[in-house]
Amino acid sequence: MGNLNDDDPYLWLEDVSGEAALAWVAERNAETAGAVTEGEAFGALKARLREVLDASDRIPYTVRRGEHLYNFWRDADHLRGVWRRTTLERYRQDAPEWEVLLDVDALAAAEGEKWVWDGARVRRPAYDRALVRLSRDGGDAVVVREFDLGTREFVDDGFRLPEAKTRIGWVDDDTVFVGTDLGPGSLTDSGYPRTVRRWRRGTPVQDATLVYEADPADVAAWGYRDTTPGFEREFVGRSLDFFHSETYLLRPDGTRVRIDVPDDASAYAHRQYLIVTLKSAWLGQPTGSLLAFDFDAFLAGDRTPDVLFTPDPRTALAGHTWTRNHLLLETMRDVSAHIEVLTPVPDGGGWTREPLVGVPALSAVSVVDTDPDVSDEYFLDVSGFLQPSTLHHGRIGGGSEVLKQAPHHFDPTGLTVDQHFATSRDGTRVPYFVIGPDRTTAPGPGPTLLYGYGGFEVSLTPFYGGVTGRAWLERGGTHVIANIRGGGEYGPDWHQAALRAERPRAFEDFAAVAEDLVARGITTPAMLGAKGGSNGGLLMGAMLTRHPELFGAIVAQVPLLDMTRFHKLLAGASWIAEYGDPDDEADRPHLLDVSPYHRLAADRDYPPVLLMTSTRDDRVHPGHARKTAARLRELGHRVLFHENTGGGHAGAGDNEQAAHNSALVHTYLWQQLTGGGAGAQAGAAAPTIPGPLTATPTAAPAAPSGTGS
């Protein structure tokens, strides 16, 4: 098979900031604005969505660092946001008093940069300094600056790094582990750090001592120091691909000891324990199990685990969080969450378990934060599709209190939530949630928006969406969440069922849900829209090219669409384990088959489609959406395109951009599914186009989706 891209006339659109490409983007943006955003209705909706995003009465979620609770906050007065902190006593108040540490708007104005907050690593145990990460306009690449929490200023002679996809963390007061772009050979083929170095304060980063080095074909190298008092340890490792990694204990003499678990398992040390989550069967325990070992005994060869969780066909591990003396175990049963308290019995007596006291019997419960070094404190968020969040604070074995209650941002009167199961092509039962008008009082089909993702073991769990409520539900629309294979709703097996050449199983699941919605009378194909982003954008491309008859309109945001070149663009090489390798003769046929860009044809009747991306997305290349829009226009199909100049992979760097994008999506879909406005522009009159231009420790970097911290 020859080069699949030799005859691609739109490669020039992969030149992210090329003059011709940006001129083309400007033309398409103007078309989309004219078709969707003109008129009072769009402006009114955008203003109402901005109210939700800026609302001063939403819950300011925090993380504890010592005596303070830290929060990053955006509102109408702080477009780019403020990093701030308070105490628990003050946080209990209706209007807490906050100490502002860093005003990102003021910093952006002073430096003439569109800074976007990307988080901070606070130094333990003094909690006096932080390594602040700032992104230019929302990209994954960041600059790093040391920040003094006492003076609330950057440290002039502190740790500083220029823009790169850096990984950095504290070792001690004057040392960090760092992986960054140091020139040729310092990055993997995926564009992430290939080395881990020990960098001393006051020395050039180029002179930092090499501690560990991954192979160029690996995804990334990483290192971190566990600062838990009495259990201080250092670890390094490498991500072989997105789902396989190796972890090593780094001894004081510089030698390494492999943590000998399967390379598809996740493993970490916590105090005297080694905790292992299985992605394949091991030691007689099935895929999806959670195991605990005595750390020292494990290194000495003991492989006797305490089994903390074993899945069943309907129940999967959703997560776990430590307090000082307990482990909070989160599980999902048919995508409904449950929490148990696991407590180790002294002297190897196993573990006890009991439900977390005081948790309401609701479908969306998650542990927000704990303080594992000090106490059995926890912060717990309880919500639902129609129920705004309630933030609880408690201590295991003690009482709990309601700290914060979010307000309703839309009227839930007459709305219901139901869970149904569709039958996929191979007989698999696929769950999905329906949020919309009560079918007993409002029978008959109506405009419906179906959302899905289906990859990277990402689970779509119940959540309260004020923006979706105002933009869609209040107008009489129905919103549907499809829990298709490729996700993690039923554990690793659910993900692996749609891996690589099996990716069409996810597409079949989504199509089955669409068909089930029509069969139940909830909607019709003409009134059914679909939306997805990133990997979910690939799903939308598949629906467009494989099942166009099922949908009245489709929206794909920051999508992957050219599956023969994704590995050559930005972070794409890191996703080969999910999709396959286009350079491998064994994988190329199935990748070409699932590539929406290559399946487009002139003689198919596609529903109208809106493609959205960001110039500053340095994770999923904007060329995917650009080229597909150009190809659809060439073939005469109905397509609109919008590219935000900033915002990174999230598509928006602030609430103004986020409100605009959401209003654009929902206005467009309402137009198409109800006939309530101008339609998409046909591509038959495409302009003349120039020819090609020359041109915390984690086991793997972020998947295509996700907005970062």
Q: What pLDDT, on a 0 to 100 scale, did the predictor assign at position 699? A: 40
Q: Residue 605 sits in a domain of what CATH number?
A: 3.40.50.1820
User: Do 498 and 557 sit in the same domain of this protein?
Assistant: yes
Mean pLDDT per 10-residue interval, the chain, length 709 residues: 65 97 97 95 96 95 97 95 98 97 98 96 96 94 98 97 97 98 96 97 97 97 96 97 96 95 97 97 98 97 97 96 98 93 91 84 81 95 94 93 96 96 98 94 91 97 95 97 97 97 98 98 98 98 98 98 96 96 97 98 97 95 98 98 90 89 97 69 32 33 49
User: Do 430 and 531 sit in the same domain of this protein?
Assistant: yes
Catalogue the E-assigned strands of 137-282: 142-148, 153-154, 160-164, 167-172, 175-179, 195-200, 209-213, 220-226, 233-239, 245-250, 256-258, 266-270, 273-277
User: Do 509 and 371 sit in the same domain of this protein?
Assistant: no
Please name the residue that has the structure tokens 């430096």: 111
| 56 in any annotated domain | no
User: Do 397 and 507 sit in the same domain of this protein?
Assistant: no
**Beta carbons of 462 and 539 less than 8 angstroms apart:** no
| 147 in any annotated domain | yes
| 247 in any annotated domain | no
Report the SS3 class of residue 394: strand
User: Do 329 and 349 sit in the same domain of this protein?
Assistant: yes
Q: What pLDDT, on a 0 to 100 scale, did the predictor assign at position 363? A: 56
Q: Among the three residues 345, 378, 406, which one is the final residue of a domain in this structure?
A: 406
Q: Among the three residues 391, 406, 421, which one is the final residue of a domain in this structure?
A: 406
- What's the pTM? 0.91
Phi first, then psi: give them for residue 576, nearest 5 degrees.
Answer: -60, -35
Q: Among the three residues 164, 181, 204, which one is the final residue of a domain in this structure?
A: 164
Please give the positions annotated as active site: 534, 649
Q: What pLDDT, on a 0 to 100 scale, did the predictor assign at position 368? A: 96
CB within 8 Å of 519: residues ≥ 6 apart: none
| 267 in any annotated domain | no
Q: What pLDDT, on a 0 to 100 scale, did the predictor assign at position 676? A: 61
| 43 in any annotated domain | yes
| 524 in any annotated domain | yes
User: Do 378 and 415 sit in the same domain of this protein?
Assistant: no
User: Do 35 and 85 sit in the same domain of this protein?
Assistant: no
Q: What pLDDT, on a 0 to 100 scale, did the predictor assign at position 133? A: 98
Question: What end-to-end distance do the CA atoms of the chain give, in Å?
Answer: 42
User: Do 416 and 399 sit in the same domain of this protein?
Assistant: no
| 323 in any annotated domain | yes
Cis? peptide before 125, omega within 30° of 0: yes
User: Do 97 and 23 sit in the same domain of this protein?
Assistant: no
The helix (H) or strand (E) run that includes residue 625 is: helix 623-634
Q: What pLDDT, on a 0 to 100 scale, did the predictor assign at position 704? A: 74
User: Do 22 and 153 sit in the same domain of this protein?
Assistant: no
Total count of domains within the chain? 3
| 253 in any annotated domain | no
Which two tokens mark 652?
Answer: 């928006």
User: Do 523 and 565 sit in the same domain of this protein?
Assistant: yes
CA dihedral 295, 299, 302, 303 (to 10 degrees): 80
Structural domain harbouring 388: 312-406
User: Which of 403, 406, 405 is closest to 93 using CA atoms?
Assistant: 403
